Amino acid sequence: MQPRLDASPRAVPSVTPRILDAVWTPLALTVVAAALAVGTWAAWRAARDQPVILRQLIAAGVVEALLVVQLLVGIGLALAGTTAPDGPTFWGYLVTTLFILPVAAAWAFAERSRWSSVVLLVAALTVAFLQYRILQVWAGA
Amino acid sequence: MSPTSTRTASGPGRLLVAVYAVLALAATARSTVQVLRDLDEAPLAYLLSAGAAAVYVVATVALAKGWRSVAWVAVSVEMVGVVVVGALSTVAPELFPEATVWSGFGSGYGYVPLVLPVLGLVWLRRTAPLDTVPEG
């Protein structure tokens, strides 16, 4: 269940918030899929005793870009009057999730063993889990 | 023995620090929201959460930097904290009307708060320089 757009008489429904509203859940699911893809790649390399390589960091960068887009969409929706019931938690998650991949990528890349791949795997799973929480908080859970 | 064997942040230690960092981040973010918004609802639980979050931050930094004695203290505090608070929250739930990171032995965080200090202590012992390995 998604929060509805502000239906007060004074609100002039414009098409932009409706597009953003329709985009919200698919965007979150896209982030989950992308994060799980990065995680699967990292797990594969960890299983083969290989460290993180630059191409994985680029893939993590794509996930990070999606997270930035998500924050901007969230801000756009809030400005249009639609946001999660529990504001502090919602914004806390949206901002916190931005830090995970950059910090983890830097931390992982400095280690030239399989453990760097495990670190990236954990970071990707964390980002995916946070999306699950973001969707829950968005729905008011 | 190579010099890197005494470092707490390399090899598996890199993973340990990463998981500690995630837990520190989660506990800090959550307790910040709780303390700022609802402190009067459950002051003991929320201040405990804030204290626990601070210990996780200290443990993360200490393990990452190789400050062994600080790491020993922080990880030991976590071990005691999760066991004591876990037990108290089970036998006297009225003490903790709101969940903390250590309630139910860390069940709200997938028992990571219970497993992590054990791994931390094992890792600190395994990476200890030979002459400083404690007895037992």
Quick check: is A6 in a domain?
A: no
pLDDT for B10-44, tens place per residue?
999 999 999 999 999 999 988 988 888 888 888 88
Quick check: is A37 in a domain?
A: yes
Number of independent structural domains in chain A: 1
Q: Give the per-residue pLDDT at B6.
A: 47
Quick check: is A123 in a domain?
A: yes
Quick check: is A4 in a domain?
A: no
Q: With CB atoms and an 8 Å threshold, state whether B14 touches A119.
A: yes
| B7, B8, B14, best to mutate vs chain A, most A CBs in 10 Å | B14
Chain A segment 70-99 residues within 8 A of B by beta carbon are 88-89, 92-93, 96, 99
A109-112: long-range pairs with CB below 8 Å, 24+: A109/A52, A109/A57, A111/A51, A111/B10, A111/B11, A111/B14, A112/A51
> What's the pTM?
0.87
Quick check: is A41 in a domain?
A: yes
Quick check: is A1 in a domain?
A: no
Mean of the per-residue pLDDT values of chain A: 90
State whether the Cα torsion A123-A45-B122-B131 is positive or negative. negative
Range of the domain at A39: 16-139
Quick check: is A42 in a domain?
A: yes
Q: With CB atoms and an 8 Å threshold, state whether B22 touches A107.
A: no
Contact B14, B8 (CB under 8 A): no
Quick check: is A54 in a domain?
A: yes
B35 to chain A: nearest residue by CA? A88
Burial class of A116 by CB neighbour count within 10 A (0 to 12, 13 to 18, 19+)? buried
pLDDT for A24-49, tens place per residue?
999 999 999 999 999 999 999 999 99
Burial class of A1 by CB neighbour count within 10 A (0 to 12, 13 to 18, 19+)? exposed
Chain A residues with CB under 8 Å of B21 CB are: 103, 107
Q: Give the per-residue pLDDT at B34.
A: 86
pLDDT for A47-81, tens place per residue?
999 999 999 999 999 999 999 999 999 999 999 98
Burial class of B109 by CB neighbour count within 10 A (0 to 12, 13 to 18, 19+)? buried
